[in-house]
Amino acid sequence: MAGVFTVFQREIGSYFSSLYAYLIAFALLVIMGILFITDLDNAAGQRPPDPSVIPTFLSFAMIFFAPLLTMRLLAEEKREGTLELLLTAPASDTGIVVGKFLGAWTYYTLILAISFLYQLILMGIAQPDLARAIAAYIGIWLYGGACMSVGMVFSAITENQIVAAFLASAMLFLFWIGDRVGQVVTNIEVAQVLRELTLQGHFSTSFAYGLLHAEDVVYFAGIIVVMLFITVRLVESNRWR
């Protein structure tokens, strides 16, 4: 995986020098702040604050957020004709893809870390189940990684960023709809299998409740590996098409 670190540095640098990335972070943090305050108001005198309110929101927001972060990663390189240059650089295809993915995932991790401040604030005013919050954050971190790996596939398919974002959102919506698949599919065994294929099926009833199932970790890691592998094959196809 030659060149992973170089590509990663370049990507993370481009995130931190782009106003666009800060605007996305700003919008997300405002929404998360509102949700945090609303949950505190709702919990007052009724129940303990919900430590998974922000991760649960992110599990939905990633449908739109992940494509926004990944749509340009490869599509922009293609459109501007820099992908060919990149392919001739001393970096393997895998290195390019993994480096770009790690850059996006690191940026997402930083936003998650900032939102974790809310849990620390909560500790000052209540007694939240911090361990449950950590489980939910581990879950949404893996969930986010899986979403971004899906976004990368579509960024590699087309050179149009909007098309890449739209296709990735559509795919992630299907991956998110797991808990509601029973409303559409009448056979519960089929619905159960479909739910197990979705991202939500490995988050909403486990990580969000403070439970860490080993198979859920394997699922998210597996999605990331398979999607990155597909992306590498797609990037590689530029050499023989």
Partner 1 sequence: MRQQNSDVVITRQRVGQIGSYAFGLALLIGVLGLVWTGWSTPVIIAFLVAAVGLATWATFTPRDFAAFITGRQARYGTIAFFSVILLSGIVAMTYLLVRERALTFDLTMSEEFTLSPETKDMLRRVTRPVQITGFYSSQNLLLRAIDDQFFRLYETETNGLIRRVYIDPDEAPAVAASFGATDGSVYISYVNDDGSVDTATLARVPRSDSQERDMTEAILRLQIAGTVTVYFDTSHSARDPLDTSPEGLSGIHAGIQESGLITAPLDMTTLGEANGDVPADAAAVLLVRPLTDYSEAEIAVMDRYLDRGGGLFIMADVLFNDDPFLKQDGAFDQYLWVNFGIRALDAAIVDPVASDRSALDVYSAAAFTGTVTDRFDPQTDPALFRLARVIEVNLESAPANVANGKLVLTSELAYGETNLPQLGQTNTFAFDDGVDLRGPLTIAGWSWDQTTNGRVLLIGDSDFVSNGMVEQYLGNGILFTDGVVWLTDLNDEITFQPQTIGVVPFFPLDQPTRSALLFGVIFLVPGLVLAAGIVISARRARQ
Q: Return d(Cα 194, Cα 86) in angstroms, integer.
A: 38
- The minimum distance between CB 107 and partner 1, in angstroms, equals 12
Amino acid residing at 115: S
Q: Return d(Cα 142, Cα 91) in angstroms, integer.
A: 26
Considering all CA atoms of the chain, what is the largest pairwise distance in Å, rounded to the nearest integer? 65
How far from 66 is each of 130, 136, 148, 180, CA to CA, in Å?
26, 18, 5, 21
- The minimum distance between CB 13 and partner 1, in angstroms, equals 11
- The minimum distance between CB 200 and partner 1, in angstroms, equals 10
- The minimum distance between CB 184 and partner 1, in angstroms, equals 8
Output 1 or 185, the one with its CB closest to partner 1.
Answer: 185
CA 135 distance to own-chain centroid: 16
Q: Return d(Cα 138, Cα 43) in angstroms, integer.
A: 24
92 Rama sector, left if φ>0, alpha if ψ -120 to 50, beta otherwise: beta
- The minimum distance between CB 99 and partner 1, in angstroms, equals 20
